[in-house]
A = this chain, B = another copy of it.
């Protein structure tokens, strides 16, 4: 298996097309005969789609200094359609979806309802422009990543071969989006389950390219800078060494990656995956790292689905899986890529809600401990 995965990158065919309204779409075909068809056999997107009319904007919150994005056009987005109307399934003649092909392996395309748009018209008139809350068009990118053409499966069930293709797609898009001005961070993530706000059930993730450094990244960079100033050392290297030393929160220690529950886990189930090498992003992973990841990542998601099995709940467990990549610009050399996976489920049939303490003042309460979470996850490996 390892040998095949290492050679995968040479086999992937990348095909870039435009949808009817001008949005970009990229196929990543990972086996012959290529699923999305030859360039001439690819279906033409003949839908009558209006050009992008969205005007996402952003304002800086004077109470926190953080940018908030406003995308009122998203109120109309497709909400939990039936499988027959799924816009992420391959097109059938007479029923064109977002993907104008009979089949595909992995595909990435511009979100039809973006929170961050490629180009934004003049600032709408309703913006009153007080200097206390600067406001700008929300420029960036929002892309959708379909992990498979099969509507009723999940990331955890993908083969390592397919996961490796998704990793190639993430790496390719990270490289491309990182080069766009004013992108400051590229965030590849998957929301799974209605409890995480999913509006489409087809296995898919998203990529957001933010035009500013997100608050959590800003704090990580500040922590890393302070740690470096104090000790001369790399913060995440020290976190990894400390977790290895403590042992009690490590769930899986591989060759290139270690999965552990962070010492200050905020969620009832939370797992981080850190590469042993200080790589800034997915695009910088070498073949051995990608290969190990292709097996390890879906395994982590399967542990999640079994987390509450002792309570009779065999999943699917709702989760958010997000790849924190180093920002583009200051601080990039002091942090590294890591994966954060967490669930809002706190017991079979019970969710953790963000109430007054978390949503109001930002203090997280956890009804379990990182050590207990790790103990349970280790029992599932």
Q: Is A4 an interface residue (CB 8 A)?
A: no
Q: Is A78 an interface residue (CB 8 A)?
A: no
Q: Do A62 and B223 have beta carbons less than 8 Å apart?
A: yes
Q: Is A93 an interface residue (CB 8 A)?
A: no
The interface residues of chain B lying within 8 Å CB-to-CB of A67 are: 264, 363
Q: Do B64 and A223 have beta carbons less than 8 Å apart?
A: yes
Shortest distance from the beta carbon of A94 to any chain B beta carbon, whole Å: 31
Q: Do A360 and B189 have beta carbons less than 8 Å apart?
A: yes
Q: Complex: how many Å from CA A59 to CA B63?
A: 26
The residue that A368 contacts in the complex, of B75, B371, B372, with Cβ under 8 A, is B75
Q: Do A71 and B366 have beta carbons less than 8 Å apart?
A: yes
Q: Is A202 an interface residue (CB 8 A)?
A: no
The interface residues of chain B lying within 8 Å CB-to-CB of A130 are: 242, 245-246, 263
Q: Is A34 an interface residue (CB 8 A)?
A: no
Q: Do B360 and A340 have beta carbons less than 8 Å apart?
A: yes
Q: Do A353 and B263 have beta carbons less than 8 Å apart?
A: no
Q: Do B63 and A220 have beta carbons less than 8 Å apart?
A: yes
Residues of A62-116 contacting chain B, CB below 8 A: 62-72, 74-75, 79, 115
The residue that A70 contacts in the complex, of B62, B342, B352, B366, with Cβ under 8 A, is B366
Q: Is A314 an interface residue (CB 8 A)?
A: no
The interface residues of chain B lying within 8 Å CB-to-CB of A41 are: none
Q: Which residue of B lies closest to A318 (CB)?
A: B353
Q: Is A149 an interface residue (CB 8 A)?
A: no
Q: Do A262 and B61 have beta carbons less than 8 Å apart?
A: yes
Q: Is A356 an interface residue (CB 8 A)?
A: yes
Q: Which residue of B lies closest to A74 (CB)?
A: B367
Q: Do B362 and A216 have beta carbons less than 8 Å apart?
A: yes
Size bin of chain A's contact surface: 35 or more
Q: Do B128 and A246 have beta carbons less than 8 Å apart?
A: yes
The interface residues of chain B lying within 8 Å CB-to-CB of A208 are: 356-357, 363
Q: Complex: how many Å from CA A171 to CA B223?
A: 37
Q: Complex: how many Å from CA A369 to CA B75?
A: 11
Q: Is A185 an interface residue (CB 8 A)?
A: yes
The interface residues of chain B lying within 8 Å CB-to-CB of A263 are: 59, 61-62, 130, 132-133
Q: Is A43 an interface residue (CB 8 A)?
A: no
Shortest distance from the beta carbon of A354 to any chain B beta carbon, whole Å: 6
Stretch of A159-167, A191-199, A279-287, A288-296 contacting B (4+ beta carbons < 8 Å) = A191-199
Q: Complex: how many Å from CA A340 to CA B357?
A: 12
Q: Do A197 and B62 have beta carbons less than 8 Å apart?
A: no
Q: Is A361 an interface residue (CB 8 A)?
A: yes
Q: Do A361 and B322 have beta carbons less than 8 Å apart?
A: yes
Contacts A71-B365, A132-B239, A365-B115: A360 and B63 contacting too (C-beta < 8 A)? no
The interface residues of chain B lying within 8 Å CB-to-CB of A217 are: 361
Q: Is A204 an interface residue (CB 8 A)?
A: no
Q: Complex: how many Å from CA A62 to CA B187?
A: 21
Q: Which residue of B lies closest to A272 (CB)?
A: B63
Q: Do A367 and B72 have beta carbons less than 8 Å apart?
A: yes
The residue that A69 contacts in the complex, of B70, B355, B364, with Cβ under 8 A, is B364
The 9 closest A-B pairs by CB, nearest first: A197-B353, A215-B362, A189-B356, A214-B361, A61-B264, A322-B360, A197-B355, A216-B362, A133-B263
- 9 interchain pairs (CB within 8 A)? A59-B263, A60-B264, A62-B223, A65-B219, A65-B222, A68-B264, A74-B365, A115-B365, A130-B246
